[in-house]
Structure 1
Amino acid sequence: MIKIIPLSVTKVDLDRAPEDHRVLFLLAGQFANDINLLRKQLIFANNGAGRDEFGNRTSMALAMLMVRLLVARMVAAWELLERKKYLDLLVQAITELSTDDDTRPYAEAASRAVPLLTAAFVAGGTLSLVRRKAAAHTDIANLKSAYAALPADYEMTDYLSEVVGNCLYGAADDLAVRVTLDFTGHDEPKVAISHLADSTIEASGAMEDLLQAWMTYFVIAHLNDRLNDATEKLFYVADAPRMGDVQTPFVLEASTDEDL
């Protein structure tokens, strides 16, 4: 059972907050939404591994795409939060949240997140390399290097379909995955995949903790009257699936006019 509180705000409400507070509230909310959705999709993709060879390949393709996108959004968020004026606001928020028993857990989670994220995005680290060398597109020099390292008889499989969107171009994906996994420093693919997925999920969880601390502070500081109204309208989602039970399908039937 998931409790949802629908907090409604107007521009007038937001205009009561200082501009830097308001800008960080809007940007942090956007980053939090993106990271939350991408993190779930990464977990869902990993849930689909182990079915069969085709299932493993599609799960790998989905998971590595989510890693690249998730790392890109996290690094972009971190670069914003590291700016002095926003970092000062975060420190202020964590300090004030720490003074109340109800909000102290948010402050403690955010405090733990900062050193973890600092280490995760250090220059030359795994996630930093993924962002610079694989997030937008695979670095050509790294792609050529990975390709040159393959044995001449190394076999790659493209899975083809007449239905648009159901093809998996395995050769291209195989090389992109190899390049991304090389950044982990692990030679064994299963170890590298596990390391990269775990590192990305851990960092994204820490980033969500940090962003949620600011969002919580902003609501209490500037929207408390609206929050009181919102709690009277809370509702519950009773049929939410367990995280470990959700898988992202790769092959889908084409939509028809009747489906739309």
Structure 2
Amino acid sequence: MDDLYSFKLSKAELEKINKDERAFFFALGHVANEITILSKQTVWCENKVAVEDYDRKAQITMSLFNYRMLAGKLNEANELIRKSFLSKPYSKIYIEKFNDEASSSLAKIKKYFGSKNVVNIIRNNHAFHYLQGNYNSSSDQLPEEFEMFMHKSQGNSLFYASEEIAFNSMMNSFQENDLSIDFGEVIDELIAISKMIMSFCYQFINAFVTDFHREIVSDEIKSIKIIDATRFLDVSIPWYVEIEKA
């Protein structure tokens, strides 16, 4: 595995930078971290062959949660870019420095969020709010029977029926907004937008510390050997766990 590189940022030098530009730099790092976490979790929740039906339904529940949260964060990332970067004078000098990949990513982000899209619909209706109307849904797509799993440990209980209702409501939202799309296409769209925003984050942060504010970075750059790194596809996140008694 490649080495990790560590470097320190000077607080005194940071405080000399325009506060809006500085705040955007740190905010964008936070965005990148959260998208990285959610992107990993969406894979790891599905990264196990579920033999039993109860296990498969738990995987589906975790995956749907992560995709909803990812959509919400992507929407908020775009709002940050729009309000705290594109509307600010300093954005021009960065855009001039961007390579073709970053320029293309920014153009695609602006185009995507400039029209009706699944990310915005999920964020407004299904990611962060529990709208009662979302749980009154009835459709031919729903099963004739619903299933719940109860366990003496609350953490191992799974109210799967609620996920079926919530998922159906989300898919209906796309149709109501004249978007003809299946869930596989929703996933592909979320992955594509994640890559665009992550590309923009990386390019901005790189330009900030290497092109425009090199003085904030200490001269000492440490190379760190990552010990016992787990292979990405060896990681899985379970729903059902043995709860040890305190």
TM-score band, normalised by the shorter chain?
0.7 to 0.9
Letter of the aligned partner of 2:232 in structure 1?
M
The aligned counterpart of 2:94 is 93
The answer as to whether partners of 1:160 and 1:166 remain within 8 angstroms in 2 is yes
Paired AA for residue 111 in structure 1: S
Contact 2:14 2:216 in 1 (8 A): no
Who is 2:166 aligned against?
176
Pair 1:244 & 2:233 matched: yes
Whole-Å separation in 1 of the counterparts to 2:46 and 2:108 = 23
Cα distance, 1:123–1:255 mapped onto 2, change above 3 Å: farther
Query: What does residue 178 of structure 2 align with?
Result: none
SS in 1 for 2:70: helix
Render the CA deviation track for 1:15-71: whole Å, top value 9, x for unaligned: 132222211111111111111111111121232465432232111111111111111
Matches within 5 A, 1:68-147: 68-83=68-83, 86-87=85-86, 88-97=89-98, 107-144=99-136, 146=137
From 128, 139, 164, the equivalent of 2:154 is 164
Q: Deviation of residue 112 (structure 1)?
A: 2.3
Percent of aligned positions that are identical:
20
Q: Using the alignment, how far apart are the partners of 2:115 and 2:204 within structure 1? A: 26
> Matched residues in 1 for 2:143 and 2:204: separation?
54
Decide whether the 8 Å contact of 2:42 with 2:67 is kept in 1: yes
Report deviation, 1:175.
0.8
Match of 1:222 among 213, 224, 227: 213
CA contact (8 A) 1:45 1:59 kept: yes
Letter in 2 for 1:39: S
- Structure 1 segment 34-53 matched on structure 2, within 5 A: 34-48=34-48, 50-53=50-53
How big is each residue's C-alpha offset from its partner over 1:161-209, in whole Å with a ceiling of 9 and x where there is no partner? Answer: 1113111101111111222233455xxxxx8332222211221121111
CA distance in 2, matches of 1:33, 1:152: 36
CA contact (8 A) 1:120 1:128 kept: no
1:192 corresponds to which residue?
A: 182
Contact 1:142–1:179, Cα closer than 8 Å, also in 2? yes
Instruction: Provide closer, same or farther for how the CA distance between residues 91 and 49 of structure 1 changes in structure 2, counting only shifts above 3 A.
Output: farther
The residue matched to 1:165 in structure 2 has which SS? Answer: helix
Contact 1:94 1:111 in 2 (8 A): yes
Q: Partners in 1 of 2:110 and 2:68 — Cα distance?
A: 19
Unaligned runs of 5+ in 2: 176-180
- Of 205, 223, 233, the residue aligned with 1:234 is 223
Change (3 A) 1:54 1:19: same
Aligned with 1:253 (options 227, 231, 242)? 242
Amino acid at match of 2:9: V
1:10 paired residue number: 10
Q: 1:213 to 1:154 in 2, by over 3 A?
A: same
Per-residue Cα deviation, 1:111-157 (whole angstroms, up to 9, x for no partner) = 2222332344345321111111101134333432x3x2258971121
TM-score by length of 1: 0.81
CA distance 1:151–1:127, shift in 2 (3 Å): closer
The alignment's TM-score, normalised by the length of structure 2, stands at 0.85
RMSD over equivalenced CA pairs, Å: 2.5
1:249 and 1:196, CA in 2 relative to 1: closer, same or farther beyond 3 A?
same
Partner of 1:188: none
Contact map agreement 1:71 1:135 (CA 8 A) in 2? yes
